[in-house]
Amino acid sequence: MKKFLHLLLLVMIIFLLVQPATSFAYTGGLINGKAMCLSNGISLEGTESPLASDNNLNTYVTLPKWSSVVSEVDTLYYQFDCPMDITAYQLKADSTGITLYFVFSDGSHTSLDNAIKVGTQTEIDYKNVVAVGMQSVNIAKIYEFDVFGDSNKTAPSVPTEIKATPDNSSVLLSWKPNTEPDFSYYNIYKDGILLTSVTNSTYEITDLIEGTEYTFQISAVDCALNESEKSEISTVIPISPQPSGNRAILVVTMITGLEKEFDLSMGEVNAFLDWYDSRDSGTGPARFAIDKHDNNKGPFKNRKDYVIFDKILTFEISEYTAD
């Protein structure tokens, strides 16, 4: 029995001794396993290394002593893809005199002198952090470093000054650009349904039906996928194409299949289009008189052909320029 107890004690001692000191970062660390950059300043190009965030206390990054020479490498940093709300940090190093820097989305920054270096998690509260870095008054071995928190939950502002300009079977949307540093793209909604996403503050929607009413709204989305409220509704009706020649052949096809052809001036064609669009939107008379001009046969001084809106199947305009 004694022999068994001695053997069990020996196994336990060996187990404790051979446990590698590799566990460090808590779950949820924002830099855990990612490469940090050793450079001469935050956001500047440098040498990347994951050794300060690999959860292994046997590896480290050597941080040179701070230097007043701008070109000297003396900064270890990490830059986030999106602004983060930082609630704590954790640092394991072999030297005192380490200063942490937190850069915010508006370009400002704050520093935390004499950061706690013993590997415990220390609470802080910084919002909209886009980069975190460190410098040291002494040469330091940075065994592990991480920060904790979550992406910023503040949505972008609602797009404003929406303009919807109708054109031939299309609508051109434009609005005031968002200026948030973490802005990513806009969502465009047609009749309440997501149509597309764009990065510019203008967009043309084509292949619309003339005379049909459409509604449009815009929302803004940041890099953390926070979406603003939708903008106010913009209602617009695409217009029919307006011919550009000085004359045109207007062919009106009736629902019976009968075709009526007229050789008209552009003023007369535009008057017909204005009547058709008005009637299609529910206003104006039900019929339209078209002068037959040279097709006037017989002893009559004037002949007009009346077309009824509800009897029109389709029409075609072929413009030309008369000499």
pLDDT tens column, 207-221? 998 888 999 999 999
Q: How many Å apart are CA 55 and CA 273, to the nearest integer?
A: 73
Q: Which residues pair with 272 in a beta bridge?
A: none
pLDDT score recorded for residue 119:
81
Q: How many Å apart are CA 118 and CA 121, to the nearest integer?
A: 9
The domain 163-236 belongs to what CATH superfamily?
Answer: Immunoglobulins (2.60.40.10)
For 17-151, CATH number out of 3.40.50.1820, 2.60.40.1080, 2.60.120.260, 3.30.360.10 equals 2.60.120.260
For the beta carbon of residue 131, count every other beta carbon within 10 angstroms: 19
pLDDT tens column, 152-185? 888 999 999 999 999 888 999 999 999 998 899 9
- Within the chain, all domains assigned CATH 2.60.120.260 are found at 17-151
Global pTM reads 0.59
DSSP state at residue 297: -
- Within the chain, all domains assigned CATH 2.60.40.10 are found at 163-236
* Spatial contact of 218 and 231, defined as CB atoms under 8 Å apart: yes
